[in-house]
Structure 1
Amino acid sequence: MNGSSRPADPPDNAGGPGRDETVQERADRLWNETLQEVRVTQTGAQILFGFLLSVAFTPRFATLQSFDKTLYTVTVVLGACATGALIAPVAFRRYLAGHNLKPQLNRTAATLISTGLALLALTIGAALLLLLRTATGNPTLAWILSGSVLAWFATTWVLLPQLLLHRAEHKHVDSDR
């Protein structure tokens, strides 16, 4: 011991560069960060899902083509799954509180949030496709614009973070030489 209750050399999975925290402190910090992420995504998903539920009760819904009604059904199911995946970490936490499983909970929550984000992106893309097909009357334009939005999500939510990670790893390798 180095004069405190912390071990002199924390395990590799505790803290990160520039952090002096125990495994449990890291788990607590990561959980708090996870909750912040969930609050943002969960609210958006719930609002979108609530809006989607109301669409079927509008007079215009009855006039939609069969494809559009099927697209609507798929969109609502995707929205329900996205909402469920984004709320699940809270349910997990509620059920597992006090069982000393926070590191495992953090890993599972990260997977659920990633799944929820992917489902949310698909929900937004499908909702946009339905809206644009109806608003423009041009199915080709609707597909192009919706596909472009999904490509934007893939770029900003997946490719850009991977690029930043790759650059950071490359910089780390160069600094070790």
Structure 2
Amino acid sequence: MSKETEKQRWQRNFADLLQELRVAQTGVQILFAFLLTLPFSAGFERTTAFQKDVYIVALLSAAGATALIISPVAFHRALFRQGRKPELVRFAHRMASGGLAFMLVSMVSAVLLITDFVLDRTIAFGLSAVTAIWFLTFWAVLPFARRNWGEDDLEDDEDSPTSYGG
């Protein structure tokens, strides 16, 4: 098996990042589309001032997430064939992280908006807090807590009598 070159590594990193962004982009676009149509639906005129404020936060954060998650494509177009893949990967990583942060705000705001519309405000705040904790657990706490996940497994495999040494 041949060793990956530096250029191949940056190319692979960029391809991996684009695949991740495709997944996030679909989710944020669906949420953004829902939020864009909401004011035109029946019953929106019954929303309170608080709910309208929450709606604006959800809408603007979805727009921010969309802009950040799609921005690596525009950046790639601007730097195409200039040999600046490392810069592109670092930029795309920052934009993906920022996009996920905006997406978190938008998701939690959307949950708050809907739950406040149909339930008591105290329950809506509680459910929104649980939603925020849920997202933060799976998007931040677990990934960062397990950054070295595979390293323990590799050490165990090397010491294991059933290891194939491959």
Give me the TM-score of the superposition, normalised by structure 2: 0.87
Separation in structure 1 between the aligned mates of residue 2 and residue 70 of structure 2, nearest angstrom:
29
**What is the Cα deviation at residue 74 of structure 1?**
1.1
Instruction: Determine if the alignment matches structure 1 residue 113 to structure 2 residue 96.
Output: yes
User: In the alignment, is residue 140 of structure 1 matched against residue 125 of structure 2?
Assistant: no
**Aligned equivalents of 1:161, 1:59: Cα separation in 2:** 41
Count of residues paired in the alignment: 156
Q: Counterparts of 1:148 and 1:58 in 2: how far apart (Å)?
A: 27
Indicate whether 1:47 and 2:25 are aligned: no
The residue aligned with 2:135 is 153
Opposite residue 44 of structure 1, the aligned amino acid is G
- Write the deviation string for residues 123-145 of structure 1: whole angstroms up to 9, x where unpaired: 00000000001122x11111111
Worse-superposed segment, 104-113 or 157-166: 157-166
Report what 1:74 is aligned to: 57
Match of 1:10 in 2: none
Q: CA deviation at 1:19?
A: 7.6
1:124 aligns with 2:107: yes
Q: Residue 97 of structure 1: which of 80, 83, 87 is its match?
A: 80
Give the 3-state SS of the residue equivalent to 1:56 in structure 2: helix
Decide which of 59, 81, 88 is 2:42's aligned counterpart.
59
TM-score under structure 1 length normalisation: 0.82
Segments of 5+ residues of structure 2 without an aligned counterpart are 156-166
- Residue 6 of structure 1: aligned partner: none
CA apart distance, 1:59: 2.6
Post-superposition CA distance 1:108-160 (Å, at most 9, x none)? 10110011011111100000000001122x11111111111110111111111
Shift of 1:99: 1.2
Contiguous gaps of at least 5 residues in structure 1: 1-17
Q: Distance in 2 between matches of 1:161 and 1:135?
A: 34
Root mean square deviation, CA, Å:
2.0
The percentage of aligned residue pairs carrying the same residue is 37
How big is the shift at 1:165? 1.8
Q: Distance in 2 between matches of 1:95 and 1:66?
A: 42
User: Which structure carries more relative contact order (alpha carbon 8 Å, separation 6+)?
Assistant: 2
